[in-house]
Structure 1
Amino acid sequence: MVPIWVLAFASTVIADATTTAIPDYFQTSYGPYAGGYETGRVPFLAQTNPALAQPTYVPNGPLVTDIPVPGKPDGASIFSNMGNLSPYKPSTNGFGADEYPLPSGSNISQIHMVHRHGSRYPTSQPGVVDKINSFIQNGTVFTGNLSFLNSWTYQLGENELTARGRQELFDSGILHYYNYGQLYDPGSGLIARTTTMMRMIQSAEAFMYGFFGSKWTQNVTLEVVIDSQGFNNSMGGDQMCANAVSGQGKTSDSATSEWTSNYLQNATARFQSQTNGGSANWTVDDLNDIQSLCAYETSAFGYSPFCLLFTWDEWVGFEYNFDIQFYGNYGMGSPVGRAIGLGFVEEFVARLIQHLPDPSDGSIAFNTTLDGSNSTFPLNQTIYFDFSHDTEIFAMITALGLSQFGEYLSPTQVATNRSAIVSEVVPFAGYFLFEIIKAPYPVLEKRPQDSSESPYDTSGSNTTYVHMLINQRTVPLGESIPDCGKRDDGWCELQTFIKFQQENIDKANYNESCFGDYSTPSYGNITDGAIPSS
């Protein structure tokens, strides 16, 4: 049996005339499970921005992202190649579905959103920082493009959102207010969920401020779920999956090592040629860390000199490295990919059928204390806002059985036309969202191009659909769920979708995937996000 943990730390007691106990999972102050955090240097971009000297200067807005790296196509930005460190942007090319307006007469009745936190500081100091310091202490002198390292110091914080991260969530709240504001009933409050990590609370609060305004607490109760090992939490599913915690379920290490040795080979030689004296020796892992410093420093300070040190092709390689990593550690290439995201799927189905979660196989991938009560797991909301992490969201997409994001990624060459591009799926402040749409008749699988023609099959009756979006672009559900049909709008009939997900839950093989005694499979040997059932 899977061990079942529940919330275990004491309630906060507010002393007043009647002494009222308030559960800890309703507290939004930073408590014992907020994780370590530290604020970094305050930016001063007006004084430190070297881009001002460029003849083709483009004003920052607020970040300097117009970096003229060698080989960059016109109009492109390296910040589209930062993987999960990319600032938020809508998916550039979409996921293969045509985008249509809502047919006249149809109504969006409900939305379900899972939102990633915004741009943040690193969760820990990159290993290359100590290596650069040791180079300098041993007498190394940097020249050429690396000369700034002679006086560079590491000044990033840890775990907290940057100002850009706060902006991303605030802007997202405003965007979704414009898109779905009328779904909210002012006469009833919402319960929204986040986790105890500081960046998660900050993100949820910034989003709510954008959606509802400064008095958002009058509209929303923020349920803060413990995000730590030993506590069940569907928004932090890796914490309760033993083989995810141990790393046993991560298959990508060999593949990412092979890929970094490939795409950073020339860059390593280039760095070595600009490093004189001492015994300095750069590795591809060092340079991969340095590429991440470009993303982190830009988000924190507005500009980073690290960004100019790599070519366009090397930034494309950096992106692909994340794609391999997420595929092998949290996607269809991981034996725990489905298991990490399973709790959300169980909860999502429960909300759709308006029944508290009760998985038939006995696996517990969510918090039974909170999900066992309508007061903390409501079933009657028109809007559901959940906040989670990039790895968890990618695993949720895996657990939903969206195989179109689970194609094998070669570790020797970039797979073109792939759907699972991490910066397109889980950038900072990325999200997926399901609209539940009620139509008076079945909507035609092929929408008429002539707007004067009806989009409905008027011989049928009222029908309810699911419409999924990732970062403002439609996901064609029929690509992974054949019974949804080959619809050009990507929708799926609700009952068809529910039936698929109810059957899909068992594919996670939760107990064996999370608690089974197995060696880490070779990269590419797992193709369905779980240990196969015996």
Structure 2
Amino acid sequence: MARVWVLALCVSTVIADTTTTIPDYFQTSFGPYAGGYETGRVPFLAQTNPALSAQPTYVPNGPLVTDIPVPDKPEGASIFSHMGNLSPYRPNADGFGVDEYALPYGSNITQIHMVHRHGSRYPTSKPGVVDRINGFIENGTVFTGNLSFLNSWTYQLGENELTVRGRQELFDSGILHYYNYGQLYNPGSNLIARTTTMVRMLQSAESFLYGFFGSKWTQNVTLEAIIDSTGFNNSMGGDQMCTNAGNGRGQTSGSATDQWKSIYLQDATLRFQNQSSGRSANWTVDDLNDVQSLCAYETSAFGYSPFCLLFTWDEWLGFEYTLDIQFYGNNGFASPVGRAIGLGFVEELIARLIQHLPDPPDDSIAFNTTLDDNNSTFPLNQTIYFDFSHDTEIFSMMTALGLSKFGKYLSPTELATNRSLVVSNITPFGGYFLFEVIKAPYPVLDQRPRNSSDSPYDTSGNSTSYVHMIMNQRTIPLGESIPDCGARDDGWCELQTFINFQQQNVDKANYNASCFGDYSTPGYGNITDGAIPNS
């Protein structure tokens, strides 16, 4: 433990000596695998916010301007709750189909396992519509009406880094989870937390840990940064080693999203065309889908974006559904690599729960064996595990966990209104899932008593441990996806039942065939279990 403590102290400082013997994965200053990044313009919302005069009553920004007068918007609703993976963090207001229950008296949370997405960021690359708009203007197009601002608009977003809002989301989350789980941390110990080498991932982990532990967090945590680049095995970036995730073979959503965009953006395309003089401005549905993403990105970066006013409420719901189809087909149960990308985390979760270094079959090793074969870099005795990852990776982890609740087919021609798979509720910016391990003195009744004075326990039984899965502060009912967990009121699952299911679940990823097999991209909807079927 003393050796790890020394590493923790070194992490917080800039390493000036290039001959240091500290392993790369403990050096969290930006390194060779940080990816390209660029900071955008500095916001000046007090001067540039036109929303102050756009509403009949004054609504303070907090800090973003999200009260946008969108046509047909229901009272109290916000388009920023329907931007898929570009939504600012928020819990799912409606939950996931199960009630929330307090911990029964006498039961104790003994451990948590968290995977946290990074916070709000700049785009990973410049949206294609930016060059399209510049091309329109160069060819003489003049914009009118709601599009008039485009005549003088310039693209000023950065790339890959967190915005200020993103730092706030992770800092606030750290504070939230300190209140929820602070006593699980043993001040005499030093945790290993894991992130990846991408800039936004380092920034997110550090902001969260600052929120949880305070400014001296490096005295409590050693932050392990795992290489996030093509060809490197990394359970927090499982697509990097999975060839068919990187080459597009495992992505089935393309035709479906194209079909849906042509439906929900049909009217918007005509509006844009009518406000763009000159034959050179030939707006496409792909252009308009990009324009909608600029609303989200500019709002996060600058506090407000005029792009947000250009679409109706139904068109924002359509934007959200496009992203649902995309995640379902590229990282979910409709993707042949959906399970494989998230498999490494499942293998590691099993190892942590049974307190044994990962030992999966040779043909399904989806994690970094250098780190996971060592108790110093993959400890098994922590009460708190903090991992930081990406939205698509988290979605694939859910697929690899066998959460079939989110595996129902999404039609590309009609918005499924009662669907469980809503990316805005699952992986918004700053979103996360975690597992609580709970030890109860007796079995907890499947049907909790309505009368608070009645015991929630079957006192004829013995001490029982459970898993409680939480996503963005709301319970995931495990029994809906894992039948052996039962139809419990609280959504919990007995710990050993959950472990048994996940151990049997590993083979379903068909890892080698899914990631490295030579197959044609399946049609959308032809894959239903997140993997290439066993031949």
Provide Cα deviations, 1:343-373, integer angstroms capped at 9, x if missing partner.
0000000000000001024322000000010
SS of 2:514's partner is helix
Note the alpha carbon deviations across 1:451-486, whole angstroms, 9 max, x for none.
000000000010000000000000000001000000
1:75 and 2:94 correspond: no
2-side partners of 1:123 and 1:372: how far apart?
33
Report the Cα offset of residue 246 of structure 1. Answer: 0.4
- The separation in 2 between residues aligned to 1:388 and 1:92, in whole angstroms, is 24
Does the aligned pair in 2 maintain the 1:468–1:491 contact within 8 Å?
A: yes
Is the partner of 1:362 in helix, strand or coil?
A: helix
The CA deviation string for residues 192-227 of structure 1, in whole angstroms up to 9 with x for no partner, is 000000000000000000000000000000000000
Q: Which amino acid aligns with 1:56?
A: T
Decide which moves more: 355-364 or 396-405.
Answer: 355-364
SS in 1 for 2:470: strand
Shift of residue 14 of structure 1?
6.7
1:387 corresponds to which residue? 388
User: Is the 2:363–2:511 contact (alpha carbons within 8 Å) kept by the matching residues of 1?
Assistant: no
The CA deviation string for residues 56-99 of structure 1, in whole angstroms up to 9 with x for no partner, is: 23110000000011010000000011000000001111111110
Matched, 1:293 2:294: yes
Q: Could you tell me whether the CA contact under 8 Å between 2:192 and 2:377 is conserved in 1?
A: yes
Aligned-residue offset at 1:230:
1.1
TM-score (structure 2 length as normaliser): 0.96
CA deviation vs aligned residue, 1:248-277 (integer Å, no higher than 9, x gap): 000000000000000000000000000002
In 1: Cα distance, 2:150 partner to 2:82 partner: 24
**Structure 2 partner of 1:24:** 24
Instruction: Please say if residues 434 and 467 of structure 1, whose CA atoms lie closer than 8 Å, have aligned partners that are also in contact.
Output: yes
**Amino acid aligned to 1:196:** T
Q: In 2 relative to 1, CA 501–292 (structure 1 residues): closer, same or farther, beyond 3 Å?
A: same
Q: Judging changes above 3 Å, is the alpha-carbon distance between structure 1 residues 13 and 156 closer, same or farther for their aligned structure 2 residues?
A: closer
CA contact (8 A) 2:142 2:151 kept: yes
Summarize the alignment of residues 345-494 of structure 1 with structure 2, pairs less than 5 Å apart: 345-494=346-495
3-state secondary structure, aligned to 1:52? helix
Kindly report which structure 2 residues correspond to 1:8-407, keeping only aligned pairs within 5 A, or say none.
Answer: 15=17, 21-53=21-53, 54-407=55-408
Aligned residue for 1:453, secondary structure, equals: coil
- Gap change, CA 1:279 and 1:212, over 3 Å in 2: same
Looking at structure 2, the residues matched to 115 and 525 of structure 1 have their Cα atoms a distance apart, in angstroms, of: 31
Q: Which amino acid aligns with 1:215?
A: K
CA distance in 2, matches of 1:364, 1:528: 19
Q: For residues 42 and 32 of structure 2, what CA distance do their matches in structure 1 show?
A: 26
Distance 2:465 2:270 in 1: 58
Distance 1:273 1:288 in 2: 17
Question: 8 Å contact 1:260–1:285 — kept in the other structure?
Answer: yes
Asked if structure 2 preserves the Cα contact closer than 8 Å seen for 1:405 and 1:419, the reply is yes
Q: CA deviation at 1:279?
A: 1.3
Q: Is the 8 A contact 1:13 1:21 kept in 2?
A: no
The superposition leaves residues 432-464 of structure 1 with CA deviations (integer Å, 9 ceiling, x where unpaired) of 000000000000000001000000000001000
CA contact (8 A) 1:13 1:22 kept: no
Separation in 2, partners of 1:113, 1:125: 31
RMSD of aligned Cα (Å): 1.2
Cα distance between partner residues in 1 of 2:20 and 2:307? 53
- Stretches of structure 2 lacking an aligned partner (at least 5 in a row): 1-13
Structure 2: distance between partners of 1:361 and 1:530? 18
The verdict on how the C-alpha distance between 1:308 and 1:20 changes in structure 2, with shifts beyond 3 A counting, is closer
CA contact 1:250–1:328 (8 Å) conserved in 2: yes
What's the % identity of the aligned pairs?
82
Q: Residues of 1 paired with 2:362 and 2:194: CA distance?
A: 25
Match of 1:3 in 2: none
Preserved CA contact (<8 Å) 1:41 1:155: yes
Give 1:23's aligned amino acid.
P
**SS of the residue 1:21 aligns to:** coil
Look up the equivalent residue of 1:213 and give its one-letter code.
G
Aligned position for 1:4: none
Q: Which amino acid aligns with 1:521?
A: P
Change (3 A) 1:15 1:391: closer
Instruction: Give the distance between the partners of 1:396 and 1:328, measured in 2 at CA.
Output: 14
Q: Distance in 2 between matches of 1:371 and 1:13?
A: 25
1:419, distance to aligned residue in structure 2 (A): 1.0
Alpha-carbon distance between aligned partners in 2 of 1:443 and 1:410, rounded to the nearest angstrom: 39
Q: Using a 3 Å threshold, how does the CA distance of structure 1 residues 13 and 116 change in structure 2: closer, same or farther?
A: closer
- Per-residue CA distance 1:112-135 (angstroms, 9 max, x = gap): 000000000000000000010011
Aligned CA distance change for structure 1 residues 327 and 410 (closer, same or farther; 3 Å): same
Note if contact 1:333-1:527 (Cα within 8 Å) is conserved in structure 2. yes
Distance across 1 between alignment mates of 2:417 and 2:21: 56
* 3-state secondary structure, aligned to 1:22: coil
Residues of 2 paired with 1:201 and 1:263: CA distance?
37
Kept in 2: contact 1:326–1:391 (CA 8 A): yes
Q: 1:13 to 1:48 in 2, by over 3 A?
A: closer
| 1:15 Cα deviation from its structure 2 partner | 4.9
User: Partners of 1:431 and 1:91 in 2: how far apart?
Assistant: 12
